[in-house]
Amino acid sequence: MPAKPDALSQNDSNSSELVQGTLEMLILKTLALEPMHGYGVALRIEQISHGVFRVNPGSLLPALSRMERAGSVKSEWHATENNRRAKYYQLTAKGHKSLARETEQWQRQTAAIARILEAQL
């Protein structure tokens, strides 16, 4: 599948990528836990997925700004723990709603794929 930007690249090579939607869902989920700066989001996703996903800043930042434009996140400038200025992102009400919708969708689809993979030979 050519020409789709690599949103999440996996640690192992030759991965089929997850599309925009999945990345945004993961970002929404992470931000739902607590407001965070972009680097923190990347770090958290990598941590929780046990290193399976490594978020590439080249796709993270565009995704965040797209979500900001769509109104599912909002941002503020804060100082970090080590006194650097960083842009902190926070989920909006709309964001919470779309997280719920996408989570439901994801679960439905993985369930469907599981049915297919487990279907009788």
Tell me the window of 29-37, 59-67, 72-80, 88-96 that interacts with other proteins (CB under 8 A).
29-37
Tokens representing residue 27 in the block: 């970002």
The answer to whether residue 113 forms part of the interface with other proteins (CB under 8 A) is: yes
Tokens of 69: 């434009």
Cα 5 from Cα 63, distance rounded (Å): 11
Asked if 18 is part of the footprint of other proteins (rule: CB under 8 A), the reply reads yes
Task: Give the Cα separation of 43 and 37 in Å (integer).
Answer: 10
| Residue of 5, 6, 19, 71 that binds other proteins (CB under 8 A) | 19
- Does residue 25 sit in helix, strand or coil? helix
Contact 46, 30 (CB under 8 A): no
By the rule CB under 8 A, 73 interacts with other proteins: no
CA distance 35 to 37: 7
If DSSP codes are grouped into helix, strand and coil, which group holds residue 85? strand
Q: Which stretch binds other proteins (CB under 8 A): 63-71, 79-87, 88-96, 112-120?
A: 112-120
Residue span binding other proteins (CB under 8 A) among the ranges 63-71, 77-85, 86-94, 108-116: 108-116
Write out the residues near other proteins by the rule CB under 8 A: 1, 4, 10, 12, 15-19, 21-22, 25-26, 29-30, 33, 45, 48-50, 52-53, 101, 103, 105-106, 108-113, 115-117, 119-121
